[in-house]
């Protein structure tokens, strides 16, 4: 069984993330969306909230699991009998960042592969931080994040 872990902060999940999850779920037997408990990053949503938002928008996908993790990603993979790290790539900036992380993870365990999936063109400009910035300054985030969570984000931003 090919299990891929799709890790990230997901603060919040965007249409770009959801697209990679849906496409990944067709390629792998199971996708584990692993949400990082960021200790040194100030997040808009708490860890359990980020997990719940992802669950809310992926409830129609059978072969996925959404969980939180802390510490090294490689340890999480081993604990979950997964052998692939799934990542999404948008620009060359992502490529540099992902290449460095893939090399580091390969150094830690060379039996695990990092597989990058190209973003869908319509999502090239979407990132969680851009979504938060647009929302903070009163812009429209519909089309950037799944519609079911637009109000969760706007409510939190306006607190």
Task: Measure the CA angle with vertex 145, ends 139 and 147; round to 5°.
Answer: 95
Using CB under 6 A as the binding rule, whether residue 8 contacts ligand PNS is answered as yes
Name every residue whose Cβ is closer than 8 Å to that of residue 27 and which is 6 or more positions away in sequence.
Answer: 4
Name every residue whose Cβ is closer than 8 Å to that of residue 159 and which is 6 or more positions away in sequence.
Answer: none
Q: How many residues interact with ligand PNS (rule CB under 6 A)?
A: 9
Rounded distance between C-alpha atoms, residue 135 and residue 87, angstroms = 25
The region of 48-56, 98-106, 131-139, 148-156 touching ligand PNS under the rule CB under 6 A is 98-106
The region of 4-12, 48-56, 60-68, 150-158 touching ligand PNS under the rule CB under 6 A is 4-12
Using CB under 6 A as the binding rule, whether residue 18 contacts ligand PNS is answered as no
Q: What is the layout of strands, in order, in the sheet containing 84-89?
A: 64-69, 30-36, 3-8, 84-89, 113-118
Using CB under 6 A as the binding rule, whether residue 106 contacts ligand PNS is answered as no
The answer to the question of whether 17 is labelled as a binding residue is yes
Q: How far is CA 4 from the centre of its chain?
A: 12
Using CB under 6 A as the binding rule, whether residue 99 contacts ligand PNS is answered as no
22 is catalytic: no
The region of 1-9, 24-32, 109-117, 149-157 touching ligand PNS under the rule CB under 6 A is 1-9
Using CB under 6 A as the binding rule, whether residue 73 contacts ligand PNS is answered as yes
Contact positions toward ligand PNS, by CB under 6 A?
7-9, 36, 72-73, 101, 104-105
């Amino acid at each position: 069984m090919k299990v891929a872990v799709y890790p990230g902060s997901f603060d919040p999940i965007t249409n770009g993330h959801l697209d990679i999850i849906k496409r990944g779920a067709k390629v792998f037997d199971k996708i584990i969306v692993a949400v990082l408990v960021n200790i040194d990053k100030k997040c808009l949503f708490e860890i359990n909230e980020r997990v719940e938002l992802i669950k809310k928008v992926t409830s129609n996908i059978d072969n996925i699991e959404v969980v939180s993790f802390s510490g090294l990603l490689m340890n999480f993979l081993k604990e979950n009998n997964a052998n692939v790290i799934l990542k999404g790539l948008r620009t060359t900036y992502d490529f540099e960042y992902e290449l460095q992380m893939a090399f580091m993870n390969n150094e830690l365990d060379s039996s695990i592969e990092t597989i990058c999936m190209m973003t869908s063109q319509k999502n090239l400009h979407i990132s969680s931080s851009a979504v938060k910035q647009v929302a903070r300054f009163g812009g429209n985030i519909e089309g950037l994040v799944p519609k079911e969570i637009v109000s969760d984000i706007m409510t939190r931003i306006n607190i």
